[in-house]
Amino acid sequence: MVIQTKSASETIRIGESMGSRLLPGDVVALVGELGAGKTQFIKGLAAGVGIGNPTYISSPSFTLINEYPGRVPFYHIDLFRLEREKEAQELGLEDYFQGEGIAAIEWADKIPSLLPKEMLLIHIAYTGKNTRSLEIIGKGNRFLKIVGELEGSRIQGVK
């Protein structure tokens, strides 16, 4: 599924719609250049997961992981500063990919072999000052179904 958005708030709304469909243990992997809109999308995800005030969500700067309490715990992971995949393994990052929380990962392409087989993968690309192209890929049956629902709700113009 590919969506073109015309504003940050539109990107956030798509994230929110996805977030409301997620369950504990789900992983959303985001890939895209600096300023593509990964953090904006994650703000929406957090809102959909039920995090109280997602406007304060910002990229973790010194830690790789920010944890937010909500309907289920929400882990915002930003691997921008990660140099080697092995470091992530040493940090026990995989522990966040299963169990009680939902994980959203910026720069997920830095840890190709640690990502779960079943997840949502989002490629965000800059296409203009206020426009972005979002490619959303569901890996595994449950996530394919979520992408189908997002597509359907977008066609009908409802959340």
Ligand X SMILES: Nc1ncnc2c1ncn2[C@@H]1O[C@H](COP(=O)(O)OP(=O)(O)OP(=O)(O)O)[C@@H](O)[C@H]1O
Strands (E), 47-101: 65-68, 74-78
Alpha-carbon gap, residue 132 to 4, rounded angstroms: 6
**Does 63 help bind ligand X (rule: CB under 6 A)?**
no
Both tokens of 46, joined, read: 């957090």
CB of 134 to ligand X, least distance (A): 8
Interacting residues toward Mg ion by CB under 5 A: 38-39, 59, 106
66 is a contact residue toward ligand X (CB under 6 A): no
Question: By CB under 6 A, is residue 17 in contact with ligand X?
Answer: no
* Residue ranges in 100-139 that form contacts with ligand X under rule CB under 6 A: 106, 130-132
Characterize 115-153 residue by residue with b for buried, 16 or more Cβ atoms within 10 angstroms of its Cβ, and e for exposed.
Answer: beeebbbbbbbeeeeeebbbebebbeeebeebbeebeee
Smallest separation, CB 142 to ligand X (Å): 26
> Does position 20 bind ligand X by CB under 6 A?
no
Q: Using CB under 6 A, which residues numbered 27 to 56 contact ligand X?
A: 32, 34-40
Residues that bind ligand X (CB under 6 A): 5, 7-8, 10-11, 32, 34-40, 59, 80, 106, 130-132
